Amino acid sequence: MTDVTNLDGAITLVTGAGRGIGQGIAQVLSERGAIIAVSDLDGAAAEVAADALNAAGRTAAAFQGDTTSQDSMDALAAAVLDEFGRIDVLVCNAGVIGAPGYHERTDHTEADWDATFGVNVKGFVHTANSVAPHMRDRRAGKIVNIASHGGRKPRGARAVLGNIQAPYSVSKAAVIQWTHLLAIELAPHNINVNAVCPGTLWTPMWEAIAENRKASDPELAEFTPREIFEMSVKDRMPMGREQTPRDIGKAVAFLVSDDASEITGQALNVNGGAVMN
């Protein structure tokens, strides 16, 4: 199949791009011609990811940024603008499921609420605050927020993480609502704002989820984390297969392309049919 998405020269800032979904998004967009500003709280991980893109013949640079701090994100945006001169695309991806140690608990804590809203909600607001004024001045830009199908309608009493997932799910629902509100605010300035809602992916984050389930459910004690993940996919995915970071990257690539110029304020599920709306 011919790839019709052309992002040649689009200066693209991706947060949380040192690993997992963010890294997959950066890879896909770079393959389609985008120049990537790889941002991560872990500056070393950002360097490794950017080096890999450059080694593959792409163009990328690494940046360190803490999305929980408006000052840090303002400095990040300034550094990217100093390096590349403009920002055409912003992908807000950096996220957490809970506070450190969440995968060892069976119920959420106050710290989990603080962590998920600090990173998954306020972090996205901070990042948009740092980049949107530049896009408004240029009257051009694309913003994609990475939410989750966990932010949609709850899927029954026995969810993937039980009670521990509540702060995460609510934070991702807030990301979807933030996407709607930001899209309305920025539409008069020719800026598209959309969200992608990933389904179930084998990432370090999901491996920690599987460890949590294994420790809290005696019926899963004999299974490996990967086997627990595969059982969840089989149980919940009508298409019967997991998603990958590159699947999310392909959805982002479409939403930031000219083909999606009339799409804004939408939240696209990429989840094999696990949640339909």
Active site residue 102: no
Question: What is the C-alpha to C-alpha distance for residues 96 and 166, in angstroms, rounded to an integer?
Answer: 13
Question: What is the C-alpha to C-alpha distance for residues 74 and 129, in angstroms, rounded to an integer?
Answer: 8
Per-residue pLDDT reduced to its tens digit, 136-183: 999 999 999 999 998 997 765 444 445 668 899 999 999 999 999 999
Res. 109: pLDDT tops 80: yes
Domain ranges of the chain: 11-199+244-265, 201-242
Residues 6+ apart with CB under 8 A from 256: 7, 10, 12, 29, 89, 91, 142, 144, 192
Most confident of 5-9, 124-128, 197-201: 124-128
User: What number does CATH give the domain 11-199+244-265?
Assistant: 3.40.50.720
Q: Specify whether the CB–CB gap between 28 and 57 falls below 8 A.
A: no
What local confidence, expressed as pLDDT, does residue 232 receive?
87
**Residue of 24 and 205 predicted with greater confidence:** 24
Name the token pair of 269. Answer: 């599920």
In which band, very low, low, confident or very high, does the pLDDT at 106 lie, cut at 50, 70 and 90? confident
Which strands form 267-270's sheet, in the order they lie side by side?
60-64, 35-40, 11-14, 89-92, 141-146, 191-198, 267-270
What local confidence, expressed as pLDDT, does residue 162 receive?
54
The residue count of the chain comes to 277
Radius of gyration of the CA atoms of the chain, in A: 18
What local confidence, expressed as pLDDT, does residue 223 receive?
94
Helices (H), ranges, the chain: 20-31, 43-55, 70-84, 110-116, 122-138, 166-186, 204-216, 225-236, 245-255
What local confidence, expressed as pLDDT, does residue 68 receive?
98
What local confidence, expressed as pLDDT, does residue 69 receive?
98
What local confidence, expressed as pLDDT, does residue 159 receive?
47
Q: Annotate 228-247 with DSSP letters as a single string.
A: HHHHHHHHH-TT-S-B-HHH
What local confidence, expressed as pLDDT, does residue 89 receive?
98
Question: What is the C-alpha to C-alpha distance for residues 31 and 42, in angstroms, rounded to an integer?
Answer: 23
- Is pTM beyond 0.75 here? yes
Burial-class residue 35 by CB neighbours within 10 Å (0-12, 13-18, 19+): buried
Per-residue pLDDT reduced to its tens digit, 188-231: 999 999 999 999 899 877 888 888 888 878 899 999 999 998 99
Determine which one of 63, 102, 124, 168 is catalytic: 168
What average pLDDT does this structure show over 246-258?
Answer: 97
Name the token pair of 159. Answer: 């969810």
- Which segment of 5-14, 81-90, 118-127 scores lowest on mean pLDDT? 5-14
Per-residue pLDDT reduced to its tens digit, 38-95: 999 999 999 999 999 999 999 999 999 999 999 999 999 999 999 999 999 999 999 9
What local confidence, expressed as pLDDT, does residue 167 receive?
92
What local confidence, expressed as pLDDT, does residue 153 receive?
78
